[in-house]
Chain A
Amino acid sequence: MLRDVLFVYTLFTFFYFVVLNGLYLFLTLLAWRQMGSDVRARGYLGLDEVFRSPLTPGVSVLVPAFNEQAVIVESVRSLLALRYPSHEVVVVNDGSDDETLSVLREAFELAPVRKVFRDSIATKPVRGTYVSRNHPNLLVVDKENGGRSDALNAGVNAARHPYVCVIDADSLLEEDALLKVAKPILDDPDLLAATGGTIRIANGCTIDHGRVVEVRLPKSRFATVQVLEYFRAFLVARVGWSRLNALGIISGAFGLFHRSLLETVGGYWTETVGEDFELTLRLHRYLRERGEPYKIAFISDPVCWTEVPTEFSTLGRQRRRWQRGLWEALRRHARLIGRPRYGVLGLVAMPYFVLFEFLSPMFALLGLVVTVLWWLVGGLSTVYFLAFLAVSIGLGLLLTTAALALEEFSYQRYRKRREVARLLAYAVLENIGFRQLHDIWRALGYVDIARGKREWGAQQRRGFATTD
């Protein structure tokens, strides 16, 4: 009886991973096609024209900041230096209990101004607003702590331009990133509702005055594995889903929206830690139900560099939080699942998020345990057991090398051959240990969900540095 159960479960797990990897391969193929078009389109993008046009609409860059004293000055400097004809930077100090506001005051000579906001989205009370004496396009909003979503909503209320770009305080945008992420919306403002750009890992890079001047791999092993994860997530998955017009998430670290659209849908939901995923789903839902054509697009060229966790505990907490955010957003938008009315998003992407994102730690860990058990009780020969392991690692390796090759054909950010070789080595090594650890963290996210955990948890910022 036990053997039968183990056999059936192993078979089920096997097919689960066949479907999952088949989907990944399909997304990889889509991404290859899309990246080919994107690379060719560079020849006629016309970014210089957008930059020198007096008609280009302005963008308000919103930066929520909670205890960001280590990174905020460098981050704001980089944002003020963005190549865009008309933009303002709105930093929202979300009740920090460190020196975030003080370092901003000192670095940018902030002066208090009795700024009047629109009251389109309700937020926690604003304590004060400040304008820089030497950078008139820098506004700092100081408010009571209400979480990242609440801070962003305050930023939307304060924004004076028709578009808002949302980024994290521990992130640096490349000089042309705002132009590149805005270009598709400026070209077709009636169709494009929102766009998101690529997130890359800043750990290990050389940073000077808020700009990444030399791209290097992190020294930390955890951070290096995350470079591969981000390649797969951004250059493959998001490019692929975007091509199907079923992009489920515009990263909270770098996204551009029509301000009026955010106001219409009520801004960010404050009761979740997955506010970027939830907002993207809500935008899809609103626009689909309105019945007009629209697109929410991922643009792979513009880059936002961000600091990723390098400590075991911080990374674990982040992954548990992501799992909780996924659950909260999926639960709120459960009615999208399997509904033809919501197109590819409802029929394919949402079931994917449930089955292959939210439930995957359970299948992966149980699958591993059951396969080992079955092998131990003699139901599975050693040769078969090793073969299953080889297939699993081989698939992971194939998908990762495909993502790496995409990067090489499109952007080639990592210039040193030794670093590309190191990434290839990690593509193999991540399958032994890291993936399983990752699944355990996400499985622990189930525990947080069951316990009704609400808060973000402490985050550590070490500041941008030349090496990590």
Chain B
Amino acid sequence: MELLGLVILVLVAGSMLFLLTLVGRRSWIAYEARRRDAAVAALRPAAIELIEDVADPPALRGVDAEVFAELLGGYSLVVRGASRERIAAYFESTGAVDEQLALLRSRRAWRRATAAFTLGDMGSPRAVPALLGALDDKRRAVRAAAARSLGRIGSDDAIEPLITAGVERRIPRDVVSLALFDIGTPAVPRLLELTRDDEPLVRAASVELVGYLGNAGDSGPLPAMLRDTSADVRAAAAGSLGRLGASTARDALIDALDDRVPSVRVAASRALGQIGGRRALDGLLRVAQADEHEPAAAAARAAARIDPALVVHAAGRADAGPYLREAADLVEL
């Protein structure tokens, strides 16, 4: 009986503890939210004045300093050039960069990851060496946050380590790609060098990014890559040629419509649709009528993009096949 009484007491006490925690937490959240909302409203003009170089930043402490830093961190995502440099200079002058660099050495992974991420918003080039080091952190979240921040800061030194980390799967490939995307055109020359790497995955990732970051003048080595031994590289090269609008590669892409791997035929079809030119139509119509699902659908849509009237006409023929009919219906929408 005593045991049962004790159990009941423990259960009731536990529930009461949760209950009191709930009440206390709710009151604290409401108080904090009011305080922060007021600080945001009061400090937003000062943050904008700092970014626009109209006034010096105010001297702040405690919650106000935190809110001001959050405001500037948010703005750093949408401004560039001198405004961004002023934000970085502010964080350097207040010691916030050093504080985050110290946290990057914390024993707790979430603190290191948060610091790595925050340093990207601060935008200080002083953080680059430490962030490059964090690409080898034992925790994936820290490595990914460091990669993202190196992209935000726009460090050329990070290009090769980022690609290597992506290929070795230490960092999600999409995170690496986006970081390089943020670095932008300065990354293109190094990416073009890496299209000759021994490792097929490095070649594929590099050529894909050239397609996003480069221009038609960077497409020189890409048509030859349509004959690469790796299907991933061939498909990525076709995709990039399409995005770059490389009309000089049209014939090579038409040849790629006969590639033995469906994903390459899909990429070649899409690229031909993006580049345009009636010379591709015969090949595209042939693939649309005779190939398997994905390449046929891609070829039919590409043909419709180049010459919608021709596809509508061709779809009326008895031997048109379902993919041309689908593309014709979409044209007529």
A401 at interface, CB cutoff 8 A: yes
- Report which of A50, A56, A113 forms a contact with B329, defined as CB distance below 8 A: A113
Majority-rule SS of A interface residues: helix
Interchain pairs with CB closer than 8 A, number: 128
Contact check, B25 vs A408: say whether CB atoms are below 8 A apart.
yes
Which residues in window 53-85 of A have CB below 8 A to B?
53-56
A44 in contact with B117 given A49-B148, A409-B25 (CB within 8 Å): yes
Stretch at the interface among B5-13, B125-133, B252-260: B5-13
Tell me which of B8, B118, B323 contacts A390 (CB under 8 A). Answer: B8
Q: Are B116 and A391 in contact (CB under 8 A)?
A: no
The stretch among B171-179, B187-195, B196-204, B223-231 that forms the contact with chain A is B171-179
CB-defined contacts of B15 to chain A, threshold 8 Å: 394, 397-398, 401
A331 contacts chain B at the CB level, 8 A cutoff: no
Closest to B300 in A: A116
Q: Does A133 contact B (CB under 8 A)?
A: yes
A398-B18 contact given A46-B117, A111-B333, A186-B172, CB 8 Å threshold? yes
Contacts of B117 in A (CB 8 A): 43-44, 46
Please tell me if A106 contacts chain B, counting CB pairs below 8 Å. no
Out of B12, B140, B293, B330, name the residue touching A113 (CB < 8 Å).
B330
Interface SS of B by simple majority: helix
Please determine whether B11 and A395 come into contact, CB atoms closer than 8 angstroms. yes
Is there an interface contact between B18 and A41, defined as CB atoms closer than 8 Å?
no
Taken together as a complex, chains A and B put the C-alpha atoms of A401 and B174 apart, in Å, by 40
Determine if A187 and B172 form an interchain contact, defined as CB atoms under 8 angstroms apart.
yes
- Across the interface, do B113 and A44 meet the contact criterion of CB distance under 8 Å? yes
Chain B residues, Cβ within 8 Å of A225:
none
Give chain B residues whose Cβ lies under 8 Å from the Cβ of A404: 18, 22
| Bound-state Cα–Cα, A246 to B207, Å | 39
Is A48 at the interface (CB under 8 A from chain B)?
yes
Closest A residue to B113 using CB positions: A44
Q: For the complex, is B57 an interface residue (Cβ under 8 Å from A)? A: no
**Given A41-B110, A113-B330, A116-B297, does the pair A401, B8 have CB atoms closer than 8 Å?**
no
Name which residue of chain B comes closest to A37, CB basis. B110
Closest Cβ–Cβ distance, residue B329 to chain A (whole Å): 4
Question: What sequence of 0s and 1s flags, for each residue 150-185 of chain B, a beta carbon within 8 Å of any chain A beta carbon?
Answer: 000000000000000000010010110110010000
Query: Could you tell me if A391 and B4 are in contact, using CB atoms closer than 8 angstroms?
Result: yes
Q: What is the number of residues of chain A that contact chain B, defined by CB distance less than 8 Å? A: 47
**A46 contacts which of B12, B18, B144, B212 (Cβ < 8 Å)?**
B144
Q: Check B326 for interface membership: any CB of A closer than 8 A.
A: yes
For A55, give the chain B residue with the smallest CB separation. Answer: B177
List residues of chain A with CB within 8 A of the CB of B25: 405, 408-409
* Distance (whole angstroms) from the CB of B184 to the closest CB of chain A: 13
In the complex, A398→B16 CA distance in Å?
9
B77 within 8 A of A: yes
In whole angstroms, how far apart are the Cα atoms of A321 and B114 in the complex? 45
B36 sits at the interface (CB 8 A): no
Q: For the complex, give the distance between the alpha carbons of A46 and B121 in Å.
A: 11
Tell me whether A451 is interfacial, beta carbon within 8 Å: no
Question: How far is B22's CA from A405's CA once the two chains are assembled, in angstroms?
Answer: 6
A405 to B116, CA, bound (A): 30
- Residue A290 at the chain B interface, CB threshold 8 Å: no
Asked whether A116 lies within 8 Å of B323 as measured between CB atoms, the reply is: yes
A-chain residues with CB within 8 Å of residue B241 when the two chains form the complex: none
Contact between chains at A408 and B22 (CB < 8 Å): yes
Q: Indicate if the CB atoms of A420 and B22 lie closer than 8 Å.
A: yes
Q: Nearest residue in B to A389 (C-beta to C-beta)? A: B8
- Min distance, Cβ B213 to any Cβ of chain A, angstroms: 11
By the criterion CB–CB under 8 Å, are B11 and A44 in contact?
no
Look across to chain B and name the residue whose beta carbon is closest to the beta carbon of A49. Answer: B178
B323 to chain A, nearest CB (A): 6
Known A111-B333, A387-B1, A404-B22; contact A43-B114, beta-carbon cutoff 8 A: yes
Given contacts A53-B178, A394-B15, contact A420 B8 (CB under 8 A): no
The reply to whether B326 and A115 form a contact with Cβ atoms under 8 Å apart is yes
B174 and A44 form a contact (CB under 8 A): no
Partner of B326, one of A54, A113, A420: A113
- Is A186's CB under 8 angstroms from B181's CB? no
Interchain CB contact (< 8 A) of B1 among A54, A187, A384: A384
Task: Please name the residue on chain A nearest to B330 by beta carbon.
Answer: A113
CA distance A187 to B145 in the complex (A): 12
B 318-333 binary contact with A (CB < 8 Å = 1; else 0): 0000110110011001
- Cα separation A131 to B263 with both chains bound (whole Å): 25
From the candidates B8, B12, B114, B323, name the one contacting A40 in the complex (CB within 8 A): B114
The interface residues of chain B lying within 8 Å CB-to-CB of A417 are: 26
Q: Is A54 a contact of B181 with CB atoms below 8 Å?
A: yes
A303 to B240, CA, bound (A): 36
- Kindly report which residue of chain A lies nearest to residue B7, judged by CB atoms: A391
- What would 17 more interface pairs be, CB under 8 Å, given A118-B293, A408-B22? A37-B110, A44-B110, A49-B178, A53-B174, A53-B181, A116-B326, A131-B329, A188-B172, A388-B4, A394-B11, A397-B12, A398-B14, A398-B15, A404-B18, A405-B22, A412-B26, A424-B22
Sorted nearest first, the 8 A-B pairs with minimum C-beta distance are: A394-B11, A44-B117, A401-B18, A113-B329, A43-B114, A40-B110, A387-B4, A187-B172
Interface residues of A (CB under 8 A from B): 37, 40-41, 43-44, 46, 48-50, 53-56, 111-116, 118, 131, 133, 136, 186-188, 190, 383-384, 387-388, 390-391, 394-395, 397-398, 401-402, 404-405, 408-409, 412, 417, 420, 424
Interfacial residues, chain B to chain A (CB-CB below 8 A): 1, 4-5, 7-8, 11-12, 14-15, 18-19, 21-22, 25-26, 29, 77, 110, 113-114, 116-118, 140-141, 144-145, 148, 169, 172, 174-175, 177-178, 181, 208, 212, 293, 296-297, 322-323, 325-326, 329-330, 333
Offer 7 A-B interface pairs, CB within 8 angstroms, sorted by A: A46-B117, A55-B177, A114-B329, A187-B144, A401-B18, A408-B21, A409-B25
